[in-house]
Amino acid sequence: MQTMRVHGEVAAYNRIVCMEQKENPVVEKTPARRSLPPTRGGARKSEGFTAEERGAMKDRVREMKTARRGADGESDVLAAIAKMPEPDRGMAARLHAIVRASAPQLVPKTWYGMPAYGDADGEVVCFFRNASKFKDRYATFGFNDKAKLDDGNMWPTAFALTKLTPAEEKRIAALVKKAAAK
């Protein structure tokens, strides 16, 4: 019934446009609207956010609300780490210890549901994104623009992690110290 009404309205509109064109040839035709073709399942697939992305956005909204109440970021980070599956949980726990030891002035907080560490103004300096969060092949330890890592005209801002060895831990500690320097 709804479809017939819409088609009837379109037909009536088209008749009016045709009559106007005969009376006034300067009037341009409006282009016909096309619908997207259906997929194999018959319905059009959504090109919006994935379930993981929507979940991260919901986490961010929750974090902003709890930040207004003055919640403890340390306990939020530890809870986020505890929810992670292995091996992400082990890497996140180790990275948390490295960041806290290397730059104690950074404040732990969650950022889109992931462990992050911010400056005194609350701006995120570095973060850990577990591989399972978005079904990635590797975990990521990254830095935002507040990090003081500038090195010429180009420098890395994120690192893929598949395993943490003493060599990576030493490099990350040095990067965190540099990123948090004033």
Q: What is the pLDDT of residues 66-119, one digit of tens each?
A: 777 777 789 999 999 999 999 999 999 999 999 999 999 999 999 999 999 999
CATH number for position 82: 3.90.1150.200
DSSP secondary structure, 64-131, as one string: HHHHHTT--HHHHHHHHHHHSPTTHHHHHHHHHHHHHHH-TTSEEEEETTEEEEE-TTS-EEEEEE-G
How many folded domains does the chain comprise? 1
Q: Which token pair is 44?
A: 């059009």
Amino acid present at 11: A
Identify whether 28 is part of a domain: no
DSSP 125-169: EEEEE-GGGTT-SSEEEEE-TTS----TT----EEEES---HHHH
Amino acid 146: pLDDT: 94
For residue 33, being part of any structural domain is answered with: no
The answer to the question of residue 14 being in a domain is no
In-domain check, residue 89: yes
All residue ranges of the chain with pLDDT < 50 are: 1-7, 27-28
- What is the model's pLDDT at position 6? 45
The whole-angstrom separation of Cα 86 and Cα 100 is 21
Domain membership of residue 68 as a residue range? 51-180
Is 142 contained in some domain?
Answer: yes
| 119 lies in some domain | yes
pLDDT score at 70: 73
Domain assignment of residue 7, yes or no: no
Q: Which residue has the tokens 């019934």?
A: 1
Residue 67 maps to a domain = yes
Check residue 18 and give its pLDDT.
53
* 110 and 80 Cβ atoms separated by less than 8 Å: yes
Strand partners, 108: 117
Instruction: Give the pLDDT of residue 66.
Output: 76
Beta pairing partners, 139: 161
| Its pTM surpasses 0.85 | no
